[in-house]
Amino acid sequence: MNEKELIEKIRESVIQGRINSEDEGFDDGYEGQPATVELIEEAVGNNVDVRGIVIGGLTSGMDVVGKNFETGKYLIPDMLASAEAVGAAMDILAPHLERAGVESKGKFVIATVKGDLHDIGKNIVSIMLKGAGYDVIDLGTDVPAEKIAATAAEQKPRFLGLSALLTTTMREMEGIIHLLKNNGVRGDVKVLIGGAPTSREFAEKIGADAHCADAFQAIEFTNSVGVA
């Protein structure tokens, strides 16, 4: 397989939402064929230009996935499968991208706040952001404000995503923003909040930069802000 064919295969694998060869695709008949992980490894082994892989394979594939979702052909599971495939590809490509001087779209720290164990929404946002090319640091659930603020100071992310599903735990968010200010990093990080009880009004009240109802709004916001 030459370079062009390999990148096209990677793109196809992303569209099909396949991480490795045992995965099924959106369409029938893919099981057993090399998928994103195997193809990326082959490409890296063949010294294929990593920019070409990212732009021609991963990003181009996700563009098709996004369009298929908009038209209703794809549903959330299909989007997530493709985003996970891109995420797996990025894990392999990360050191190569760094060596090639290619920057990611930015670091994104994400966490469910203290006292709250809900993580479905947060996980979906994580997968989708990773699939969209962000360097995601997922701190998990029930994360103390101090840990979030410390990670923000240490990792210097472009974005911080806070999730809460309870009216009792969403109040934590205001304290975290307060800590970011105290640590002197608030100006360097955009804070996105989400979760069922949150709202745009609540985001404004606590001084967050955006309220995102779902992963798509999160990506829309981060892309609108641009890479640091």
Partner 1 sequence: MTGDFRPGVIVRPYERLTKEEVGAIDEASLSILKETGIICFNEEALSLFREKGCTVEPVDERSSKVKIPSKTMKDALSTVPSVVKLGARDPRNTLILDSKVPRIYFGSGSETNVWLDTKIETFVSATNGERKRDLPVFVEERGNVERLATSAKLAEELDSLDFFIRPVNIQDEDITEMNHDVNKFYISLGNMTKHVQAGLTNLDQLDNVIRLAEIVAGGKEAFRDNPIISFITCAVKSPLQMVDDATRKLIEFAKRGLPFVVSSSPQGGSTAPIQEAGMVAQINAEILSGIALAQIVNPGSPVLYGSVPVRARMDNLHDMYGAPEFNQYNIDCVQMARYYGIPSYSTAGVGDSSTPGVQATIEKFFTHIPVAMSGAQYIHYSFGLLDRTNTFCPVQAVLDNQHIGMIKRFLAGPRMGPDDFNESLAQINKVMGSGQKLYARFVRKGLRTGQVYSHYPFESRDGEDRVIEMALDHMNGLLSRPGKDLSPGIEDEIFAQVPGLLPRLKKQRK
Q: How far is the CB of 92 from partner 1 (least distance, A)?
A: 15
Tokens linked to 180: 């970011």
Q: How far is the CB of 48 from partner 1 (least distance, A)?
A: 26
Q: How far is the CB of 24 from partner 1 (least distance, A)?
A: 6
Nearer to partner 1, 64 or 225 (CB): 64
Q: How far is the CB of 83 from partner 1 (least distance, A)?
A: 9
In this structure, are residues 134 and 159 in contact, taking their beta carbons and an 8 Å threshold?
Answer: yes
Q: What contacts 131, CB < 8 A, 6 or more positions away?
A: 62, 82, 83, 84, 85, 86, 87
Nearer to partner 1, 40 or 179 (CB): 40
User: ∠177-128-22 over CA atoms, to 5°?
Assistant: 145
Nearer to partner 1, 5 or 28 (CB): 28
Q: What does the binding site for partner 1 look like in residue numbers (CB under 8 A)?
A: 17, 24, 26, 75-78, 80-81, 84, 120, 123-124, 126-127, 138
Nearer to partner 1, 75 or 227 (CB): 75
In this structure, are residues 149 and 188 in contact, taking their beta carbons and an 8 Å threshold?
Answer: no
In this structure, are residues 183 and 175 in contact, taking their beta carbons and an 8 Å threshold?
Answer: no
